[in-house]
């Protein structure tokens, strides 16, 4: 009898831990413009394409995760990275970039898999799986939340014409880690596309955290770093629909040691 009660308790505990991450909400989750910088971040990258018929469920999973990014013990930092190898098969994804294809191919080499595919999720540069697999996502998030991380913060942001001005800080790296690269990604909070060809022809696709530029801006030593950065914004990027993602990634093995997100500007919903 005691064994049955213990198993039941562990089952309920596991469900209570997973529910805040991916559970459906009764209403919209309103995220604060300045997320809690005291939380360590977990970076979730989705490699996707508007030309891939398996990708919309993964895009939706990423949207649900982003809607609850501040409700768990760790801050969830998401990025949608649109690759370009689907562009020649009936539909050119307007968000696609060969740079993100190169990044995914580098992950494929690090993970020892045969090559890039869509949809693919990568959590903290350490765990990869099919991007619409919510169970694998839950498992990867649990492992990532238990790992020691550097605290990354974006303490200030401002737009001056076509320039985005940022103040960044990364704390000391976790024990055993000697160096990292500090990356800044500029993304659209959300966007939609009516697809006119290819596997998703006729569908209205919704995206979140659509990566538009990614730059390595500094080296990070064991003691961490502070950095003021000015980025030139793409001309076609709406100034009222911006977020910035910062993360520290180890060269070589690709492990992400800390990350953060800041909503710079956000459209006001009329619904």
Please, what are the domains in the chain? 36-265 (2.60.40.10)
- Full pLDDT tens readout for the chain, 271 residues: 434 334 343 334 343 334 444 443 333 333 344 444 567 899 999 999 999 999 999 999 999 999 988 777 789 999 999 999 999 999 999 999 999 999 999 999 999 999 999 999 999 999 999 999 999 999 999 999 999 999 999 999 999 989 999 999 999 999 999 999 999 999 999 999 999 999 999 999 999 999 999 999 999 999 999 999 999 998 889 889 999 999 999 998 999 999 999 999 987 654 4
pLDDT reported for residue 40: 84
Residue 186: closest CA among 209, 220, 168, 157: 209
> pLDDT at position 71, please?
75
Q: What pLDDT is stored for residue 4 in this prediction?
A: 39
Cα 4 from chain centroid (whole Å): 39
Q: What is the pLDDT of residue 38?
A: 63
Q: Distance (Å, rounded) from C-alpha 100 to C-alpha 96?
A: 8
Spatial neighbors of 221 by CB under 8 A, at least 6 apart, are 173, 178, 179
User: What are the structure tokens assigned to 23, written together?
Assistant: 């559970």
Q: Strand 225-232 vs strand 163-170: parallel, antiparallel, or unpaired? A: antiparallel
The β-bridge relationship of strands 75-82 and 41-48 is parallel
């Amino acid at each position: 009898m005691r064994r049955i009660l213990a198993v039941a308790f562990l089952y309920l505990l596991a469900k209570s831990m997973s529910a805040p991450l991916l559970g459906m909400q009764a209403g919209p989750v309103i995220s604060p413009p300045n997320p809690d910088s005291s939380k360590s971040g977990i970076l979730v990258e989705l490699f996707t394409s508007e030309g891939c018929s398996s990708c919309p469920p993964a895009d939706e999973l990423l949207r649900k995760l982003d809607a609850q990014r501040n409700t768990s013990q760790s801050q969830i930092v998401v990025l949608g990275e649109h690759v370009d190898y689907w562009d020649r098969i009936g539909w050119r994804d307007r968000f696609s970039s060969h740079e993100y294809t190169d990044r995914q191919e580098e992950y494929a080499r690090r993970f020892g898999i045969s090559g890039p595919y869509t949809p693919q999720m990568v959590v903290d540069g350490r765990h990869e799986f099919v991007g619409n697999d919510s169970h694998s996502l839950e498992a990867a998030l649990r492992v990532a939340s238990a790992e020691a991380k550097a605290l990354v913060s974006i303490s200030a942001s401002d737009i001056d014409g076509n320039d985005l001005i940022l103040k960044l800080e990364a704390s000391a790296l976790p024990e055993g880690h000697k160096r990292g690269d500090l990356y800044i990604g500029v993304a659209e909070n959300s966007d939609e596309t009516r697809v006119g060809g290819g596997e998703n022809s006729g569908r209205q696709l919704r995206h979140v955290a659509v990566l538009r530029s990614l730059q390595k801006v500094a080296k990070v030593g064991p003691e961490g770093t502070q950095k003021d950065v000015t980025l030139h914004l793409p001309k076609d990027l709406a100034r009222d629909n911006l977020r910035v993602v910062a993360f520290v990634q180890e060269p070589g093995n690709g492990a992400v040691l800390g990350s953060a997100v800041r909503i710079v500007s956000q459209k006001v919903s009329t619904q």
